[in-house]
Structure 1
Amino acid sequence: MRIRGAVLEEIGRPRPFADSRPISVCDLELDPPGPGELLVRIEAAGLCHSDLSVVDGNRVRPVPMLLGHEAAGRVEARGAGVSDVAVGDRVVMTFLPRCGECAGCAADGRMPCSAGSAANNEGVLLGGGRRLSRGGDSVHHHLGVSGFATHAVVDRRSVVTVGDDVPPEIAAVLGCAVLTGGGAVLNAAHPAPGDSIMVVGLGGVGMAAVLAAVSLGYGDVIGVDAMPEKLSTATELGATAVLTPTELAARGVRADVVVEAAGNARAFETAVAATAPGGTTVTVGLPSPDARSAISPLALVAEARTIVGSYLGSAVPSRDIPIYAQMWREGRLPVEKLVSSCITLDEINRGMDELADGHAIRQVVVFD
C-alpha cells in the first residue's frame, strides 16, 4: 500500500533543519504484514531526542530511514499467527521489542533484549527484513516502529494494547517518555518511602520522571534544568523545588535518588555530585558515544553510593504501560501536561529545531 512518511535522507546536515531539510516527507510503499506482524494506522507520534540523535549524528543509523519510535495507532490488519490483538485495537508502540527468549529478556527489564537491539541497529523488524520501500529501494525502519507515517507494519512484540479511552497523543507518549522517565524512578531507583528525588534535565523523559515521582508520593521532588520555562513547568507538575545547575552547585543540594535525563556528560557529573550518601544515581540520557565524564571513585566508596544505567526505564512494556495508563485514568499521572504542542507531519524539520533548542517538552505529530 502507498503511505506518506518522514524519511531521514542524510545524517548530520547543519542547523537549522527547517532550512537544510534532512527529513523528506514523501510517498512510500508499505508491504502487507508478514507472520507475527501488524499493520497499524498511526494516529499520533511524539518527537523525542532519540529521533533527533539520528538526525544530528549522535546515533548513527542506516539511511534512508523512516523515523519515529514513540507512536500509537489502530490495528488495521494482522499477519498470520497473531490472535491476541484484534483489528481496531488501539496500540502503543515500544521501541525495544522483546523476543522473550534471550538472557536480556529474562532480566525483568534490567537488560535490553539482544535480538531487539540487533534488529534496531540494522534498521529491520524483530522478525527480520524491511517492509518499506521507495522507488524500488528499501527504506530502513527506526527502532522497529517508523511512526512518522500514516501507517506502519510492526512486529507484534513491538506493541502493547490500551483501551479506547486513552487518547492517541497520551497513548503515544506512554510508549517512550513515560516508560523511560517513569521507569527510571519505579524500576531502576526503587526509592524508599520518604526518599527525595531529583531529576536533572527536564525534557519529555525528565518531566515524566517528575510526574511519576510526584504521583507516587515519595519525599521532596526537585527539578534541575538551565531553562527557566522548564523549571516553571516542573513546578506546575508538582515539583517541590526547582534549581538551575548553577544554583544546585552553589547551594549543595543533594537527594536520595537522582535521575539524569539530559543525555550529556556534564549533566551526568551534576547528577552524580548531587546524590546523597547511600543514594542512587540513575542515568537514562543518551549522550554522544564519544562523551566522557569525570567522577570521583572515592566518593562512591566512602559514601556508599550507587550508579545505575537504565535503558527504556528498565521496563517490561507489556507490564508497565497498562500500569501507567491506569494511573492516567485515575488522574494520578497527568500525561497530557507533557504535550507542549501538536504539529503536522510537514512541520517535522522545524519540530526537530524546536527539540534541539530545548523549547519543547513533547511535540506530537497528529494524523487525521
Structure 2
Amino acid sequence: MLTRAAICWERNTPWSVEEIELDPPKAGEVLVRLVASGLCHSDEHIRNGHMPWELPMIGGHEGAGVVEEVGPGVTTVAPGDHVVLAFIPACGRCPSCSTGAQNLCDLGMYMADGYQVTDHTARHHARGVDLRVACMVGTFAEHTTVNEAHCVPVDPDLPLELACLLACGVVTGWGAAVNTGGVVAGDTVVVVGAGGIGMNAIQGAALAGAERILAIDPVALKREKAIGFGATHTASDATEGFALLQELTRGRLADVVINTKSEGEGADIAISLGLAGKRGKVVVTNLHEAGDQQVTMNALDLTVMEKQVRGSCFGSANPRRDIPRLLDLHRSGKLQLEELVSHRYKLDEVNQGYDDQVQGRSIRGVLTL
C-alpha cells in the first residue's frame, strides 16, 4: 500500500514528509493505522547523530493506532483493536520477560537495526530503497507494519492521541520514580529536567507519596507547569536547587534524584550525586550521546554515603501490565495526560513541533495522524 511518513535521510536535515510503499504484514506482524504519535526528544538524537543509527529512517517511537490487518500466527491482537506501540517489544518468553523485566526484552537488541525482528528485512520503502524505522515501529507515519510484540491492546474508549504518550514518555518518567527510584511516602525527590519525561517522573513521585518534589529546569514555563503535575518547589539550576534542598531538609538533601534532561552529559552524574543525601539514589533515564565515555563523580560518595547510581530504561516497567494500569489511573483522574500535550501538529508540521520543543515552547507535542 501507499502511505506517508516523515523520513530522516541525512543527519541534521529536516524530516522529509513523503509518500512511501508499505508491505503487508508477514508472520507475527501487524499492520497499524496510526492515529497519533508523541514527539519525543529521542528522535532528535537520531536526526542529529547522537544515536548513530543507520539512515534513512522513519522517525517516531511513541505511537498508538488501530490494527487493520494481521499476519499469519498473530494471536494477541485482531483487526479493529486499539493498540499502544510500546517502543521496546515484549516477547513474553525470553529470560528478561519471564522474570518481570519486559523493558529489557531480548528482542530489544535489534532496535538499532531498524528492520523487522522476524527476518531483519524492511517493510517500508521510498525512492527505491529500504527504510529503517525508529525502534522498529516508525510512528511518524500514517500506517506502519510492526511485530505483534510491540502491540499493547487498550480499551477503545480512551483517546489514542493521549494513549500514545504511554508508548514511551509517561511510562519512562513515571517508572523512573516509582520502579527504578523506589520513591515511597515521605521522600524528598528532585527531578532534573521538566519536559515530557520529567513531568511524568514528577507525577509518579507524587502518586507514590513524596513529601517534597523539586523540579529543576532553566525554562520558566516548565517550572510553572511542574507545579500543576505535583512539584512542590522549583529551581532554575542545580546551585539554586541545592540551597533550597538544604533549607527544606535541614541538610539531609534528597532521597531520589531523577535525571530527565533532554540530553545528558557526563558531568551531570556528579551534580546529581551532590543533590542526593545518604543512601540517596540517582536515576539516569535521559539519553547521553553514544560517544560520551566520561562520567564525573566522587566515588567516595558511593562508599561512605552509600549513594547509588541507577540506570532506567522505559521506566524499569512491564509495558503489558503498566500501560493499561496507568490508563486506569488516568481514567480515575489520578494521572494527567491531556495536560501534558502542549501542542498538536499534523504530520507535515513535524519539524515545527521539534523547533517548539528545542526552543522550550512545549512540554510534549503530539502528531495527530
Residue 249, structure 1, aligned to residue 251, structure 2: no
Distance, in Å, in 1 between the alignment partners of 2:270 and 2:9 is 34
Structure 1 letter corresponding to 2:115? V
Deviations 1:130-150 (A, max 9, x none): 110113311111101100111
Q: Could you tell me how far 1:362 is from its partner in structure 2?
A: 0.7
Where does residue 353 of structure 1 map in the other structure?
355
Identity over aligned residues, as a percent? 36
Distance, in Å, in 1 between the alignment partners of 2:63 and 2:75 is 22
* Structure 2 unaligned blocks of 5 or more: 247-252
Distance, in Å, in 1 between the alignment partners of 2:178 and 2:155 is 23
Q: CA separation of 1:340/1:268 partners in 2, compared to 1, >3 Å: closer, same or farther?
A: farther
Determine helix, strand or coil for the equivalent of 2:162.
helix
Distance, in Å, in 2 between the alignment partners of 1:250 and 1:217 is 23
Determine helix, strand or coil for the equivalent of 1:193.
coil
Distance, in Å, in 2 between the alignment partners of 1:64 and 1:30 is 15
Where does residue 5 of structure 2 map in the other structure?
5
Q: Could you tell me how far 1:12 is from its partner in structure 2?
A: 2.9
Determine helix, strand or coil for the equivalent of 1:197.
strand
Distance, in Å, in 2 between the alignment partners of 1:239 and 1:349 is 30
Where does residue 195 of structure 2 map in the other structure?
203
Where does residue 305 of structure 2 map in the other structure?
303
Residue 219, structure 1, aligned to residue 211, structure 2: yes
Q: TM-score, normalised by structure 1?
A: 0.93
Structure 1 letter corresponding to 2:80? G
Asked if 1 retains the 8 angstrom alpha-carbon contact of 2:178 and 2:208, the reply is no
Distance, in Å, in 2 between the alignment partners of 1:111 and 1:326 is 20
Where does residue 337 of structure 1 map in the other structure?
339
Distance, in Å, in 2 between the alignment partners of 1:151 and 1:43 is 9
Q: Which moved more, 1:245-254 or 1:59-68?
A: 245-254
Q: Which one of 82, 99, 110 corresponds to residue 74 of structure 2?
A: 82
Deviations 1:295-340 (A, max 9, x none): 1011121111111101111111101101111110110001111111
Aligned residues: 358
Distance, in Å, in 1 between the alignment partners of 2:63 and 2:270 is 32
Poorly superposed stretches of 4+, deviation over 4 Å: none
Q: Could you tell me how far 1:2 is from its partner in structure 2?
A: 0.3
Q: Which moved more, 1:85-94 or 1:347-356?
A: 347-356
Instruction: Spell out the pairing of 1:146-157 with structure 2 (5 A cutoff).
Output: 146-157=138-149
Give the RMSD, CA atoms, in angstroms. 1.6
Q: Could you tell me how far 1:107 is from its partner in structure 2?
A: 4.5
Q: Could you tell me how far 1:110 is from its partner in structure 2?
A: 7.8
Q: Which moved more, 1:98-107 or 1:251-260?
A: 98-107
Determine helix, strand or coil for the equivalent of 2:146.
strand
Instruction: Spell out the pairing of 1:164-175 with structure 2 (5 A cutoff).
Output: 164-175=156-167
Where does residue 327 of structure 1 map in the other structure?
329
Distance, in Å, in 2 between the alignment partners of 1:279 and 1:110 is 26
Distance, in Å, in 1 between the alignment partners of 2:203 and 2:244 is 24
Structure 2 letter corresponding to 1:188? T
Determine helix, strand or coil for the equivalent of 1:3.
strand
* Structure 1 unaligned blocks of 5 or more: 14-20
Asked if 1 retains the 8 angstrom alpha-carbon contact of 2:2 and 2:21, the reply is yes
Asked if 2 retains the 8 angstrom alpha-carbon contact of 1:99 and 1:116, the reply is no
Distance, in Å, in 1 between the alignment partners of 2:222 and 2:212 is 18
Asked if 2 retains the 8 angstrom alpha-carbon contact of 1:97 and 1:126, the reply is no
Distance, in Å, in 2 between the alignment partners of 1:30 and 1:293 is 42
Q: Which moved more, 1:61-70 or 1:191-200?
A: 191-200
Where does residue 257 of structure 2 map in the other structure?
258
Q: Which one of 314, 317, 336 corresponds to residue 315 of structure 1?
A: 317
Asked if 1 retains the 8 angstrom alpha-carbon contact of 2:6 and 2:59, the reply is yes
Distance, in Å, in 1 between the alignment partners of 2:206 and 2:103 is 26
Q: TM-score, normalised by structure 2?
A: 0.93
Where does residue 181 of structure 2 map in the other structure?
189
Distance, in Å, in 2 between the alignment partners of 1:160 and 1:249 is 41
Determine helix, strand or coil for the equivalent of 2:144.
strand
Distance, in Å, in 1 between the alignment partners of 2:325 and 2:178 is 11
Where does residue 17 of structure 1 map in the other structure?
none
Residue 363, structure 1, aligned to residue 360, structure 2: no
Asked if 1 retains the 8 angstrom alpha-carbon contact of 2:194 and 2:217, the reply is yes
Where does residue 88 of structure 2 map in the other structure?
96
Q: CA separation of 1:51/1:131 partners in 2, compared to 1, >3 Å: closer, same or farther?
A: same
Q: Could you tell me how far 1:247 is from its partner in structure 2?
A: 0.9
Q: Which moved more, 1:190-199 or 1:154-163?
A: 190-199
Q: Could you tell me how far 1:87 is from its partner in structure 2?
A: 1.3
Q: Which one of 107, 116, 137 corresponds to residue 125 of structure 1?
A: 116
Residue 50, structure 1, aligned to residue 42, structure 2: yes
Distance, in Å, in 2 between the alignment partners of 1:336 and 1:98 is 27
Asked if 1 retains the 8 angstrom alpha-carbon contact of 2:279 and 2:307, the reply is yes
Where does residue 249 of structure 2 map in the other structure?
none
Determine helix, strand or coil for the equivalent of 1:87.
coil
Q: CA separation of 1:110/1:344 partners in 2, compared to 1, >3 Å: closer, same or farther?
A: closer
